[in-house]
Amino acid sequence: MSLNAEQRRVYDEYGADIVKYQIPSRTLARQIGVTEWTVRRVKDYIYKYGPPEPLNDDRPGTVLVIPDSHAKPGVSNERFVWLGRLINERGHEALANNVPFTVVNIGDMGDMESLSSYDVGKKSFEGRRYWKDIEAVLDAQQSLFDQIDPEVHAWVRWVYTEGNHEHRISRATNDNPALDGLISLDDLRLEEFGWEVYPFKVPAEVHGIAFCHYFPSGVMGRPIGGLNVGRSLVTKCLKSCVQGHSHLWNHASFTDVMGKRIHGMSVGCYFEHEEEYAGAANRMWWRGITVLKDAHDGDYYVEQIPLSVIKKEYGP
């Protein structure tokens, strides 16, 4: 169990007083403008684990980045079982050594192929296909979190930056008001699994590093990309940045005049199947997990773990 961004805010502002003064959850929720469920979750967290770790921990930490993983119907989610075992092992190591540990899901965990038509305006909404897409994402998350021990789940900060594929849900409801109330991002149940969710194109900051599904550039807001995307991220964002989206792995780092290291990174993807639409580009994609070690004030060193290695070491 962990707290999402809103729940952390409630704790930071009201802290242990929530429990100390025994204010009814419904009354407190109404007074501070949040849902009763949010207040109850904060109370439960305090009772079970005590005060949560602060969001901005000054200690160097470890950040494990899950790139675009595209769970979809007809494709096995076994890779999420392997990933869960890896995270659980690394989480126990971090806990034993008192090292802050963050897992950042860079987005596009859900492929949401049923809504791809909204990107091109060719097809109407098909409910049965949509719910199969949702089931694939829920199964992927369950497969991962079933491998995580409770003490590790509580230690880890779980961050999710919404990708353009999940954003298809919001886009569909905006384009077709008849869908409003029928489908929503809540269907993915991200916060229920413990993710601290950041909306599409809104960066999350961890140890001085900005994480986002992609960083927009120019007046049109196009994704920063290209074969040298790491360098482009540094020169355009002027801050250490990590993004997904392109399925390419690329890293660049520079040192400013004061000796501060700035990094730019694109983290590849995490699936074995090939995408028909990509053709020969499938061979350019790097498949695996990236770990940022000793992360502090925007600096870190890199560990790459190919999916083939994860499968060999954590598979059946």
Q: Are residues 41 and 68 in the same domain?
A: no
Dist CA 4 CA 161 (whole Å): 12
Tell me which residue range forms the domain holding 129.
55-314
Q: Are residues 47 and 92 in the same domain?
A: no
Dist CA 84 CA 193 (whole Å): 13
* Rg of the chain on CA atoms, in Å: 20
Per-residue pLDDT of 195-225, as tens digits, reads 989 999 999 999 999 999 999 987 677 889 8
pLDDT at 37: 81
Read off the CATH number of the domain in which 301 is found: 3.60.21
Tokens representing 265 are: 């990174």
pLDDT bracket for residue 125 (50, 70, 90):
low
Per-residue pLDDT of 99-122, as tens digits, reads 999 999 999 999 998 887 644 444
Q: Are residues 131 and 19 in the same domain?
A: no
Q: Are residues 48 and 171 in the same domain?
A: no
Among residues 240, 242, 266, the alpha carbon closest in space to that of 253 is found at 240
Dist CA 217 CA 233 (whole Å): 9
* Phi and psi, residue 108, nearest 5°: 60, 35
Q: Are residues 48 and 71 in the same domain?
A: no
| Residue 8 reports pLDDT greater than 80 | no
Average pLDDT in the chain: 88
- For the ranges 48-57, 126-135, 163-172, the lowest mean pLDDT is seen at 48-57
Q: Are residues 102 and 13 in the same domain?
A: no
Other CB atoms within 10 Å distance of the CB of residue 87: 24
User: Of 36, 52, 68, at which residue does a domain stop?
Assistant: 52
Name residues whose C-beta falls within 8 Å of residue 56's C-beta, 6 or more positions apart in sequence.
205
pLDDT at 288: 98
171 or 62: whose pLDDT is higher?
62
pLDDT bracket for residue 5 (50, 70, 90):
low
pLDDT at 126: 66
Q: Are residues 65 and 90 in the same domain?
A: yes
Q: ∠223-68-125 over CA atoms, to 5°?
A: 85
Averaged pLDDT, 216-237: 88
| Residue 9 reports pLDDT greater than 80 | no
Dist CA 119 CA 200 (whole Å): 15
User: Of 32, 52, 72, at which residue does a domain stop?
Assistant: 52
Question: Which residues on adjacent β-strands are paired with residue 287?
Answer: 269
Per-residue pLDDT of 71-92, as tens digits, reads 999 999 999 999 999 999 999 9
Q: Are residues 19 and 138 in the same domain?
A: no
Q: Is the dihedral of CA 292, 71, 287, 212 positive or negative?
A: negative
User: Of 52, 72, 91, at which residue does a domain stop?
Assistant: 52
Q: Are residues 178 and 75 in the same domain?
A: yes
Q: Are residues 14 and 155 in the same domain?
A: no
Count of structural domains within the chain: 2
- For the ranges 49-53, 104-108, 253-257, 310-314, the lowest mean pLDDT is seen at 49-53
194 or 28: whose pLDDT is higher?
194
Q: Please tell me what DSSP assigns to residue 53.
A: P
Q: ∠300-301-303 over CA atoms, to 5°?
A: 130
pLDDT at 56: 47
Q: Are residues 162 and 282 in the same domain?
A: yes
- For the ranges 48-57, 154-163, 167-176, 287-296, the lowest mean pLDDT is seen at 48-57
In angstroms, the Cα distances linking 63 to 31, 114, 290, 302 are 36, 32, 8, 10
* Phi and psi, residue 167, nearest 5°: -65, -15
Tell me whether residue 92 is exposed, middle or buried, using C-beta atoms within 10 angstroms of its C-beta: 0 to 12, 13 to 18, 19 or more: middle
Q: Is 28 helix (H, G, I), strand (E, B) or coil?
A: helix
